[in-house]
Structure 1
Amino acid sequence: MKRSRMTYLILSILVMILGLLSRRIDNLPQIISAYSGDILWSLMIFLLIAFIFNKGSSIFIISMAIIFSYSVEISQLYHAPWIDGIRGTTLGALVLGYGFLWSDLVCYTIGVMIGAGLDLLIMRYIRKRDRI
């Protein structure tokens, strides 16, 4: 079944805004401020992949989101002047991050699983709506 690109684009933008806000709000509980950005980042990646591959299976989208997210994290083990220069910019830091953390892999998995659950709910709603 085909996903609505507009729905996934709007959700991606909302998640981006929430992710940026999670870094700006000072009085959040420590656990939320420490991990929400990474969870929301991978959720955004899931939603963007679902947007691009709107006819793809859920397993394909989950796999691509995990592979992409983990690849970005693993790339943080590589430090060359050119890539560290990119990481030194605001956009580069948001996309590529700074340093490898095992906890980020856990956050990415959680974010993708939230995306998969959200995708399942959206697809069930569409199927139910189309039957009526």
Structure 2
Amino acid sequence: MKRSLKIKYAILAIVIFLIEVFIALYINDSFIRPFLGDVLVVGLIYCAVMAFTSYRVVTIAISTLIFSYMVELAQYAQVVNLLGLSDNKWARIIIGTSFSWWDMVCYTLGFIIILLIEKNKRIMKISQ
């Protein structure tokens, strides 16, 4: 199977990544950083994977959601500490250190938004 870059997904992944970096560096509030950032990270992962694969939308969306849940569960299990990486700033940022049910809700919301956007794209394509 030939794999090619889907430029729209790649550009969107880069844009979401830059938004996430901006949030991480400059936003320290009680809504955007903890909630919107978690909703967006699901979209970031989804777009990055879609840019390089030809799997179905639902397959990638569900896989992204499961991956997000697994990272959150790794935080619950204190994987950073178990791996002896508690002093590693990047490990703490990438893996995270604290479990939250709200994060799970945000990941689910991000998943739903992805499906709604993709469904809307398909409907718009059909109606043209």
Under TM normalisation by the shorter chain, which class is it?
Answer: 0.7 to 0.9
Q: Distance in 2 between matches of 1:83 and 1:18?
A: 29
Find the counterpart in structure 2 of residue 30 from structure 1: 30
Where does the alignment leave 5 or more consecutive residues of structure 2 unmatched? none
> How many matched pairs?
125
Find the counterpart in structure 2 of residue 7 from structure 1: 8
Find the counterpart in structure 2 of residue 16 from structure 1: 17
TM-score normalised according to structure 1 size: 0.75
Where does the alignment leave 5 or more consecutive residues of structure 1 unmatched? none
Q: Distance in 2 between matches of 1:86 and 1:60?
A: 34
Find the counterpart in structure 2 of residue 69 from structure 1: 68
Correspondence 1:1-132 to 2 at 5 A: 5-26=6-27, 30-53=30-53, 55-79=54-78, 81=81, 83-85=83-85, 88-90=88-90, 92-125=91-124, 127=125
Q: Distance in 1 between matches of 2:30 and 2:78?
A: 29
TM-score normalised according to structure 2 size: 0.77
| Cα gap change, 1:111 to 1:79, in 2 (>3 Å) | same
| Cα gap change, 1:87 to 1:105, in 2 (>3 Å) | farther
How many angstroms does 1:6 deviate by?
0.9
On the 8 A contact 2:62/2:111 being kept in 1, the answer is no
